[in-house]
Each structure stands twice: as structure tokens, then as C-alpha cells.
Amino acid sequence: MELQKIKPKHLSQQIKYIYILRSHATEIIPKPHMLIPDGTFELILNFGDAVYHTDQQQEAIQRPTALLAGGFRKQFSLHYAGHIHMIGVVFNPVYQNMILNDRMDIYSASLIKAEQVLGNTLNTMIDPLPDLSNTEHLREHIENYFMKFFTDQHQGVHTENLQTAIEMIQRSKGNIDLSKLSSRVCMSTRNFRRVFTETIGISPKEYIRIIRSKNILHLTRKGKSIEAMAFELGYYDPSHLIRDFKEISGTTPRGYVDQLNTIDESFMRVSQYARL
């Protein structure tokens, strides 16, 4: 399994990273790819065999070959039917609503056919990608396509405030109060909650829980005890931490880490859980 991360050059504020995921010719991935939400939306292009999305209700849906997905609140899994070849563009949560020019909470936890929101011009970006073996050319091609979505005139009035709030949540590892966030960006709690949800696609409380959960995974992999994690991340007690993590993942932190497959391991290294 090969996972390659490509850093944006011109749209580094708007795009977190571009990735290429490929399986080797004889490689078989028997176990599902388990994911927990990360608070972002991404464009996912599938050039390999079919991929099936399964939520916590165990309903399996075949993913479109080009989809926009994100805003998930609970764990889901991917099942690969054969050869894997995907290219993904992961957006900065603060800027992702500029892609759709709409409220992101409308599209949360959905598998959206990308052509429905980006139009037929998307094919002009997709078609050359399989032949672009040079990652620099691939990055440039993708960034050129998205440049039109992130012009200055489309800059949101709350962009800087939301970026500040996101960074505060990440630096605190999710151990932060909603009133402190809204006060820091000079907004009422009610207005901050509304603006955040419409722009990011999930509520501030849900985003805080996601960041906490990612740090729980990071600390679990480092061998930290539940008691030490609870103290570091601001939980009342270890049982509260486990309940909170189960709510989003369906299992305990150790149980989740123990069931990871090779794709999960690769994505964990790319994503850098502690700083997402």
C-alpha cells in the first residue's frame, strides 16, 4: 500500500493536502478501512475498483467515482472490491464552503456526486489525472482548477475569526470551552455556533469532540494510560473519556487502534492526529 501526500503550493491556506492512495498489484485488503470524522470535506476521485461506504447502521453504499464527502459525526468504514487508486483533495474547514458557495451543514454526512455541485467542468480536471505520473504536474493541475473558487471577492466575512477558533481548538487538543471561543472572536455564543456550523458543516461542540478523539488515538498509540489521557484532555474522569470516544467511533480507544489495517496506519501518519 502506498499513500503519498502532496503539499499545496498556491492554495496552502485553502487546501490542507492532496493525496494519492494506491494498492500494489498483488495486494489484497481484506479488512475494512475504519475512519472517524476529521471535521473536513474532501473531493475523492476513484480510478480503481469499486469502494463501498458502510455507516454504523451497517448499510453499505457504493461510492460514486467522483464525490464530495465530509461533515461526518460518527465512525464509518470503507470496503475495497479490488485494486485501489484514489486521489483526494482535503480542504481547510474554514474555506471549504467557498467550493459550494452554500451552507456546508446542508451537505454534512452525505456522499455527494461531485458533478452535481461542481458541474461538468470537473471532468476537464479529472480526465488527465491518471496520466500525470509527475506529482508536481498533478498538484499544479489540481490547484489551477480550484483557483477560481478561492478568489478574494469570495472571502467570507468570518473567515479570520473561524480560522482563529479552529486553531484554538487544535492547540488545546479539544480541551476548550465554547464561551471562550466565541469571546475570543468577539461574537455571541449563539451567533458563533450558527456561523461555525454553516461554514464548517458541523457544530463547534462536534468539532471539539472530533479533535479530542483524534488526540485520544494519538495518545493511545503512544502508550498513555486512560487516566493520563483524561487528565491531559480535560475529561472529568476516564469513564467520561471512553463514553465520548465510543459515541464517535463505536468502540474503545484501544479497541479502535487494535483493529487498524495498513490503510488506516498510513492515513494516521499522514493526518498527524495530534495537530489536526
The domains of the chain are located at 2-154
Residues whose CB is less than 8 angstroms from the CB of residue 73 and which lie 6 or more positions away in sequence, other chains included: 37, 108, 109, 202, 206, 248
Residue 31: predicted pLDDT: 79
Q: Is the pLDDT of residue 139 over 60?
A: yes
- Name the pLDDT band for 150 (thresholds 50, 70, 90): confident
Please state which of the ranges 98-102, 183-187, 191-195, 271-275 shows the lowest mean pLDDT.
271-275
pLDDT average, residue stretch 97-121: 90
Q: Is the pLDDT of residue 261 over 80?
A: no
Q: Is domain 2-154 classified as CATH 2.60.120.10?
A: yes
pLDDT average, residue stretch 237-255: 92
pLDDT average, residue stretch 37-57: 90
- Name the pLDDT band for 273 (thresholds 50, 70, 90): very low
pTM: 0.90
Please state which of the ranges 13-22, 25-34, 77-86, 221-230 shows the lowest mean pLDDT.
25-34
Q: Is the pLDDT of residue 8 over 90?
A: yes
Please state which of the ranges 18-27, 65-74, 129-138, 176-185 shows the lowest mean pLDDT.
18-27
- Name the pLDDT band for 2 (thresholds 50, 70, 90): confident
pLDDT average, residue stretch 141-160: 82
- Name the pLDDT band for 203 (thresholds 50, 70, 90): very high
pLDDT average, residue stretch 142-147: 95
Residue 276: predicted pLDDT: 39
Residue 114: predicted pLDDT: 95
> Count of CB atoms within 10 A of residue 5's CB?
18
Q: What is the mean pLDDT of the chain?
A: 89
Residues whose CB is less than 8 angstroms from the CB of residue 57 and which lie 6 or more positions away in sequence, other chains included: none
Residue 101: predicted pLDDT: 85
Q: Is the pLDDT of residue 133 over 90?
A: no
189-198 contacts at long range (C-beta below 8 A, 24 or more positions apart): 192/165, 195/158, 195/161, 195/162, 196/162, 196/165, 197/105, 198/97, 198/103, 198/104, 198/105
Determine contact, residues 169/190, Cβ cutoff 8 Å.
no
Q: Which percentage of the chain shows pLDDT scores above 70?
A: 92
Local structure of 70: helix, strand or coil: strand
- Of 16, 167, 45, 159, which is closest to residue 98 (Cα–Cα)? 159
Please state which of the ranges 25-29, 206-210, 238-242, 252-256 shows the lowest mean pLDDT.
25-29
